[in-house]
């Protein structure tokens, strides 16, 4: 049985925070405001995995009201979500994600992001796709006030 999950995350960009995406520190003057490290890419992937397994969402497992998750490494949360899906009998086949932000340009960092995500999911790198898009100046991702990520995950459970 194949199951597809969809994930989404968005954060406001603020001064004084590091820009971390897919576990990579991207040089930029602003970063995502969040309870954890604010890694929207990791959060979207985690929600896609949890969604495919019908295990709720990231906030249900790692609430922002819990001090244990303050400044947490989001890739560690992704690994924990993958473990929950595996415990429920699923294998992760692949993930595909898109980050939407006007600046900074992410192309130089995509390979490292893919490798980090693959390592935390226990997948080969060709099981992880990451793309970067701009919104051509439109909306919060285009005017520099925010960043968003979308992801899908394909999981399989043997009958």
CATH code at 62? 3.30.1330.50
Residue numbers of the domain that contains 44: 2-157
pLDDT of residue 35: 84
Average pLDDT, the chain: 94
Q: Answer positive or negative: Cα dihedral of 13, 24, 84, 67.
A: negative
Cα 8 to Cα 100: distance, rounded to the nearest angstrom: 11
pLDDT of residue 150: 98
Q: CA angle, 15 as apex, 12 and 18 as ends, to 5°?
A: 85
pLDDT of residue 127: 98
The total domain count for the chain is 1
Is the pLDDT assigned to residue 67 strictly greater than 80? no
CA 60 to chain CA mean position, Å = 16
Cα 50 to Cα 84: distance, rounded to the nearest angstrom: 8
Cis peptide before 104 (omega within 30 of 0): yes
**pTM, full prediction:** 0.95
């Amino acid at each position: 049985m194949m199951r597809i999950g969809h994930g989404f995350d968005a954060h406001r960009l603020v001064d004084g925070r590091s820009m971390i995406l897919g576990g990579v520190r991207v040089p930029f003057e602003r970063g995502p405001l969040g309870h954890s490290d604010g890694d929207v890419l990791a959060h979207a992937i985690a929600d896609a995995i949890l969604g495919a397994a019908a295990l709720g969402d990231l906030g249900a497992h790692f609430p922002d009201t819990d001090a244990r998750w303050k400044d947490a490494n989001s890739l560690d949360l992704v690994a924990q979500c993958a473990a929950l899906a595996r415990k429920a009998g699923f294998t992760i086949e692949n993930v595909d994600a898109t980050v939407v932000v006007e600046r900074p340009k992410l192309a130089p960092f995509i390979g490292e992001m893919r490798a980090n995500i693959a390592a935390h999911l226990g997948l080969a790198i060709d099981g992880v796709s990451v793309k970067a898009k701009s919104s051509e100046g439109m909306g919060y991702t285009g005017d520099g006030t925010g960043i968003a990520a979308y992801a899908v995950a394909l999981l399989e459970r043997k009958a």
